[in-house]
A and B are shown apart, each in its own frame.
Chain A
Amino acid sequence: MSRIATLEGALRRANRLVALILGVALVATVLFVLIDVIGRKTGWGSLGGSDEISGYVMAAVASWGLACALLDRAHVRIDLIRQRLAAPGQALMDLFAMIVTNGVVLLIAYYCWPVLQKTLERGSRANTPLETPLWIPQGIWFGGWAWFAFSATALSLIAIAYLVQGRRSELAASIGLGSELEQ
């Protein structure tokens, strides 16, 4: 295994772990929501806040999960022109799409920071009975976008390295078009 492949493997394993942690958080949310519903229906009283907490879990899934989906090549791409090209053309389109994605993700992550920054400056709390200090969920959420930006950049560099070395099949396996059949 080359050094690049080792790096790619590490990135993949890290994201697999992230996905598992998010999955466990999701299961915890299921139980929390369930206890809330049962409590409300039986009149034992509800814990309250399951709505708010599940929103925060959603934000975590919708930020940290993005890099997992990227590594699994699960983000939807339209294959209309690409599928008509020969392998070198496909590799170039894949790399182009990857770099554009990388740029946009860096930009989004950059503009996500002020949201957390303002919360930290003002010490904002959620306008709910829980009065959650917002830096906690927003910190996790921003971390997810930062991780997405990092993973995308790392993957772009890995892909460029594969291209330079002419290892086209590794390139396709890292940033090519994923198919739902493989999942």
Chain B
Amino acid sequence: MIWTVAVSLLGLMSLSIPVGIVLFILGIGVGELFSMFPLLRGLGQVVWSSSSSSTLIAIPLFVLLGEILVRGGVAARTYGALDKWLSWLPGGLIHANIATATMFSATSGSSVATAATVATVAMPQADRLNYDPKLFSGAIAAGGTLGILIPPSINLIVYGFLTETSIPQLFSAGLLPGLLMALAFVIVTALICVARPKLGGPSRSFSWGERARSLVQLVPIIILFVVVIGSIYAGWATPTESAAIGVVIAALIAMTLGTGLGLATIAEALHGTIRISAMIMLVITGAYFLNFAMTSAGLGRQLTDLLQNTGLPPIGTLLLVVLLYLILGFFIETLSLMVATIPIIVPIIAELGYDKVWFGVLMIVLIEMALITPPVGLNLFVVQGARSKGSMNDVILGVIPYVLVMLAMIALLIAAPGLALWLPSIL
């Protein structure tokens, strides 16, 4: 059954049938072919109980938060402020790219929207200051991916919901690896620009007075982040409640520090939120039904058999899984890759005795790579779309150093699981 499902999954997806619909077809197929019970009769009930969830409403709320920040024009001013703080480093503005992308994608939870916004703001500067377009655009594409790891992350909520893992625990597990990776991006950029100064632009210094004044732009966003994450960690708000608080703070920020929130902007943000949330929900509901169908059809016993027959030690199987994600990541878009594989892969990993919170973080880093690896890396297209000239190859070459950092992070997470699990253990 596992192989049949895996092969049909890839087959149907490559026919360009919507991913959520593919998952439903597979669920129905498993029910008809492998189960002794008529699972189809339970379809309606599964769809109802998986979607009427107060946990999941955190997803549209975080999407709305991001839409408000992005459409409210906060990004450009944040970029300007971060430029004043970071441009003295070798590589100059590239660090502002990384930092803005990290900050925005972390608070908004959307990698693609962040990459698009930062690219629009940053690209004109690259020309003006004579930056090498490769590293400059690569940094935006890569920086944008960090948001799905640094909480609040929509992908972590989806993972927690589908695998019945605690979302606050996942959020705290993602924090250190996410920040560490942002730091590593900055260090790698600086090293590259020291070795090959032509790749970066001019280092520029700003006075402390200018920096202090720019804090007006930065502090509110940091407050937003701290309130949203802190209230979850401190245990006085659920992810849903903290998302609701975040929406209000984001609206205040957009009204005071951004370009404002007119009725048209609000309508656009709401429309965008519903579009993105519904897209995510179709995939989640489909995965939930497939999950239900496979479990009812005896997935547990089959997994045990499968694992006993491979004769690999747990670490061997784990590396195989990592390899699988690396390969699939070239072709399948992030959320689909994650949601479609969870019903098959996570039970295997749990059966091997690995921690589900830890694997959640590892999986997110793996799918972050999928965002910036050709031919289907969404962020590559988004950044290229915001550039008025040049070829896609520039962006692809530019992300290579950051892909290497991600690979190192994957190795580090496997070698030292404590990197992810330490923070959840003390909270």
Which residues of A145-178 have CB atoms within 8 Å of chain B's CB atoms? Answer: 145, 177
A93/B24 in contact, CB under 8 A = no
A78/B333 in contact, CB under 8 A = yes
Instruction: Known A30-B244, A62-B281; judge A111-B20 contact (CB<8 A).
Output: no
B48/A107 in contact, CB under 8 A = no
Q: How far is the CA of A93 from the CA of B17 in the complex (A)?
A: 9
A76/B20 in contact, CB under 8 A = yes
Q: How far is the CA of A36 from the CA of B169 in the complex (A)?
A: 24
Q: How far is the CA of A65 from the CA of B336 in the complex (A)?
A: 18
Interface membership of B282, Cβ < 8 A: yes
Q: How far is the CA of A37 from the CA of B19 in the complex (A)?
A: 37
B279/A69 in contact, CB under 8 A = yes
CB-nearest residue of chain B relative to A52? Answer: B54
Chain B 335-365 near chain A by CB (<8 Å), digits 1 or 0: 1100000000000000000000000000000
With a CB–CB cut-off of 8 A, which chain B residues contact A77? 16-19
Q: How far is the CA of A132 from the CA of B279 in the complex (A)?
A: 28
Binding site secondary structure of chain B: helix
Q: How far is the CA of A30 from the CA of B43 in the complex (A)?
A: 30
B20/A177 in contact, CB under 8 A = no
Interface membership of A14, Cβ < 8 A: no
Q: How far is the CA of A76 from the CA of B283 in the complex (A)?
A: 8
Interface membership of A57, Cβ < 8 A: yes
A104/B24 in contact, CB under 8 A = yes
A58/B275 in contact, CB under 8 A = no
Q: Least Cβ distance of B228 to chain A in Å? A: 13
With a CB–CB cut-off of 8 A, which chain B residues contact A143? none
Q: How far is the CA of A26 from the CA of B56 in the complex (A)?
A: 13
With a CB–CB cut-off of 8 A, which chain B residues contact A104? 21, 24-25, 28
Interface membership of A133, Cβ < 8 A: no
Q: How far is the CA of A45 from the CA of B332 in the complex (A)?
A: 48
Chain B 2-35 near chain A by CB (<8 Å), digits 1 or 0: 0000000000011111111100110010000000
Q: How far is the CA of A80 from the CA of B24 in the complex (A)?
A: 21
Interface membership of A4, Cβ < 8 A: no
- The stretch from B78-86, B175-183, B184-192, B233-241 touching chain A is B233-241
Instruction: Known A66-B281, A74-B276, A111-B43; judge A26-B64 contact (CB<8 A).
Output: yes
A58/B18 in contact, CB under 8 A = no
Question: Which of A78, A145, A183 is the one whose CB lies under 8 Å from B13?
Answer: A78
With a CB–CB cut-off of 8 A, which chain A residues contact B16? 77-82, 93-94, 97, 177
Question: Which of B18, B52, B240 is the one whose CB lies under 8 Å from A76?
Answer: B18
Q: How far is the CA of A81 from the CA of B277 in the complex (A)?
A: 27
Instruction: Known A78-B336, A112-B47, A181-B385; judge A96-B244 contact (CB<8 A).
Output: no
Q: Least Cβ distance of A128 to chain B in Å? A: 11
Instruction: Known A59-B52, A74-B278, A78-B13; judge A19-B270 contact (CB<8 A).
Output: yes
A33/B244 in contact, CB under 8 A = yes
Q: Least Cβ distance of B15 to chain A in Å? A: 7
Q: How far is the CA of A56 from the CA of B48 in the complex (A)?
A: 10
Which residues of A39-61 have CB atoms within 8 Å of chain B's CB atoms? Answer: 41, 51-52, 54-59, 61
Instruction: Known A29-B57, A69-B282, A101-B21; judge A76-B335 contact (CB<8 A).
Output: yes
With a CB–CB cut-off of 8 A, which chain A residues contact B281? 61-62, 65-66
Q: Least Cβ distance of A176 to chain B in Å? A: 10
A19/B15 in contact, CB under 8 A = no
A58/B28 in contact, CB under 8 A = no
A107/B28 in contact, CB under 8 A = yes
B274/A68 in contact, CB under 8 A = yes
B382/A30 in contact, CB under 8 A = no
With a CB–CB cut-off of 8 A, which chain B residues contact A27? 270
B244/A34 in contact, CB under 8 A = yes
Instruction: Known A65-B275, A75-B279; judge A26-B60 contact (CB<8 A).
Output: yes
With a CB–CB cut-off of 8 A, which chain B residues contact A26? 60-61, 64, 270, 273-274
B271/A76 in contact, CB under 8 A = no
Instruction: Known A100-B17, A180-B378; judge A74-B41 contact (CB<8 A).
Output: no
A100/B21 in contact, CB under 8 A = yes
CB-nearest residue of chain B relative to A35? Answer: B244
Q: Least Cβ distance of B344 to chain A in Å? A: 17
Interface membership of B45, Cβ < 8 A: yes
Q: Least Cβ distance of A62 to chain B in Å? A: 4
Q: How far is the CA of A141 from the CA of B285 in the complex (A)?
A: 14
With a CB–CB cut-off of 8 A, which chain A residues contact B18? 75-77, 97, 101
Interface membership of B248, Cβ < 8 A: yes
B277/A75 in contact, CB under 8 A = no
With a CB–CB cut-off of 8 A, which chain B residues contact A37? 237, 241, 244-245
A23-B271, A37-B237 known, 14 other contacts, Cβ within 8 Å? A19-B271, A20-B267, A27-B270, A33-B244, A41-B236, A62-B281, A68-B278, A69-B282, A77-B18, A78-B13, A78-B332, A78-B336, A93-B15, A181-B382
A and B contact pairs by CB, cutoff 8 A, 24 listed: A19-B270, A19-B274, A23-B269, A24-B270, A27-B270, A29-B57, A30-B64, A30-B248, A34-B248, A61-B277, A61-B278, A68-B271, A68-B274, A68-B278, A75-B282, A76-B19, A76-B336, A79-B376, A80-B16, A93-B15, A111-B40, A112-B44, A113-B44, A138-B48
For the complex of A and B, the 9 pairs showing the least CB-CB separation, nearest first, are: A23-B270, A65-B278, A59-B52, A62-B281, A62-B51, A69-B278, A75-B18, A33-B244, A111-B43
